[in-house]
Amino acid sequence: MSETLGFFALLMSNGILIGLMYSLIALGFVLVYKATDAVNFAQGEFVMIAGFVVVGALSVLGAPLWLSVAAALASMVVFGFVLERVVLRKLIGRPVIAVVMATIGLAAILRGLGPFTIFSGTRPLPLPISDEPFIVGPLFIPPIQLVGGTVSLVFLAAFGWFFLRSRQGIAMRAVADNQQVAMAMGIDVQRYFGLAWAMTGIVSALGGVLWGNLLGVDVNLALVGFKVFPVVILGGLDSIPGAIVGGLIVGIVENVAAGYIDPVVGGGTKDFAPYVLMIMALMIRPYGIFGKRIIERI
């Protein structure tokens, strides 16, 4: 009985930590949606590009880790600003589907450019973190997951405060609710669009470092974006608390499925269980657990 409880506690603890790391990436979806009312389908590719920048600075240029991470943060902020200014600003006032299709096209372009980078194959992204797990009773906690969960919590709390308490965050929420009314109130809509994409770049850079260490850096790192999509659907596209709760749910479901169902069916349930959960959520509560309920009558 104690072994069974210990195994369940192990699955839960690992699921919670991985779920928090999912929540950090999901925050990128939420930031863009809250400001522009559109979904960024290139979020995974943003994470991939950030990972490429860190590994390129480390292995090719020989830069120290702190400088490589700083370069990734700065480059992703600039990338977000430039993307909004050159591509997405021209779509202001267009149907939301235009922005969605633009981000899908951007995702394909970034993945296609991956093989033409300064290195090929999968590269490790080493961090000064021990590989020896922390052992607490029946729990084996990998240090990278503990660090990733802590970083995710800190930044999720910081962005939550930003949207709820700061003038800029409240203005971004006003822009998302109604762009025309926000402009009439004197809010610079274009400025806050750029700010949202820049903040998404910061989240992507952090995700690229953490997930690059876990998975290695190559074009497949972009698949993290698809893994995170059920998180934002479950929690609600416009909710930071929803990103946290959705991440925890997906992380726990993945680990529990892998622990109890994989031995019976031969594996693979971890990969599709979150999507089954997402479909069920869409059928029951399509706007998510904490999402804003919008009813359209036609």
Q: How far apart are the first and last CA of the chain?
A: 56
Per run of 10 residues, the mean pLDDT along the chain (length 298 residues) is: 76 89 89 80 90 87 88 91 81 74 87 71 84 78 87 86 82 75 78 85 91 88 88 86 89 89 79 86 81 54
Q: Are 252 and 16 in contact (CB under 8 A)?
A: yes
List, as one string, the DSSP characters of 21-75. Answer: HHHHHHHHHHHHHHHHSS--TTHHHHHHHHHHHHHIIIIIS---HHHHHHHHHHH
Q: Measuring CA to CA, which residue among 15, 53, 45 is closest to residue 29?
A: 45
Q: Which CATH number fits domain 2-284: 1.10.10, 1.10.600, 1.10.1060, 1.10.3470?
A: 1.10.3470
Q: What is the pTM of this model?
A: 0.89
10 Å CB burial of residue 28 (0-12, 13-18, 19+) is: buried
